[in-house]
Amino acid sequence: MAASRPDNSPETAALDYDVIIIGAGLSGMYQLYRLRELGLSARVFEAGTGVGGTWYWNRYPGARFDSESYSYGYSFSKELLQEWEWSEHFAGQPETLRYCNYVADKFDLRRDIQFASRVTSAIYQDETRSWRITLESGAQHSCRFLITAIGPLSTPTLPRIAGIDDFKGQSFHTARWPKEKVDFTGKRVAVIGTGATGIQTIQTIAGEVGHLTVFQRTANWAAPLHNGKIDAETQARIKAGYGEIFARCKETFACFVHTPDPRGAFEVSDEEREAFYEKLYGERGFGIWQGNFKDILIDRAANATISDFVARKIRERVKNQAVAE
């Protein structure tokens, strides 16, 4: 005679969903789409009030892609690829957020997404082999599988500066920028940090502030993005070549359309190397980093050749040589 199963066994335990996904950004939206295809019941809990993840939260001035737009978008739907047209080679945040909303509408994703719902705990229950999810509201939900799609950069950190809580002026973290436009006209503004986000913000607001002070801990190298509008001819070429674009991204170590040159920096003459750097410097995007000689990221001497090249370019562009240095 077979033994009876306890009421809370995995086979009989009642679960709210097969899968719960935390986050309605690019990954969370795609997971929802795929799980539906598999016939599983799924629910997405999103802390924000809309889809988009990174592109919902990071709405600071100048925010845009560093990947080519057409290599960043979803590849799972040929119909979507042909319908959507990126206006720039490196789209700005507003356009990217419109894209996220377009995808959510096209595939009716919102009916399985619960917004303004921050997950505060996720506990695995051995006895039922299931997850118990608790929201900030106190509501609880259960599922067999849990997918966290919150990304690696979802928690902003403010500088630990003495007196920061006593500051009476306006202050913003780029990852929690207000939805309303911030007016910098005539104001004294300070920006802390010159990473990619800092550079985008600085160059965008510099023309409207009264005075801008930038605090930089560590100097870095910066090269022009060479962004531009996508004309009709290029648009047609992109749409016809999506297969090759995504195949290329699968082959490269960082999933960009750029791949390292098979040569080493010292396998060519000084003249050839300089000409190669000039070519990369004049092209769009991360080619100067991702499509450079194969050893510039692993050999200090090889890296010095491109670092010195970019430093010379910065000295040419930045007229104040103390700032350039």
**Residues whose CB is less than 8 angstroms from the CB of residue 112 and which lie 6 or more positions away in sequence, other chains included:** 32, 36, 42, 43, 44
- Which residue, 148, 175, 194, sits at the end of a domain? 148
Residue 11 lies in a domain: no
pTM comes to 0.91
The H-assigned helical ranges of the chain are 26-37, 54-57, 69-72, 78-83, 93-106, 196-205, 232-240, 242-251, 270-281, 287-290, 300-317, 321-324
In a structure prediction context, what are the per-residue pLDDT tens digits for the chain, which is 325 residues long? 444 344 444 454 699 999 999 999 999 999 999 999 999 999 999 999 999 999 999 999 999 999 999 999 999 999 999 999 999 999 999 999 999 999 999 999 999 999 999 999 999 999 999 999 999 999 999 999 999 999 988 888 888 889 988 999 999 999 999 999 999 999 999 999 999 999 999 999 999 999 999 999 998 888 999 999 999 999 999 999 999 999 999 999 889 999 999 999 999 999 999 999 999 999 999 999 999 999 999 999 999 999 999 999 999 999 999 989 8
Whether residues 262 and 143 share a domain: the answer is no
* Residue carrying the six token digits 């990221």: 297
d(CA 268, CA 264): 8
Residue 7 lies in a domain: no
Residue 249 lies in a domain: no
Task: Report the phi/psi class of residue 186: left, alpha or beta, with left for phi > 0 and alpha for psi in -120 to 50.
Answer: left
- Which residue, 121, 148, 175, sits at the end of a domain? 148
Its domain, for residue 103, covers 17-148
- Which residue, 82, 114, 148, sits at the end of a domain? 148
Residue type, 89: H
Indicate the number of domains in the chain: 2
Contact between 25 and 149 under an 8 Å Cβ cutoff? The reply is yes
Whether residues 22 and 141 share a domain: the answer is yes
The phi and psi torsions of 10 (rounded to 5 degrees) equal -55, -30
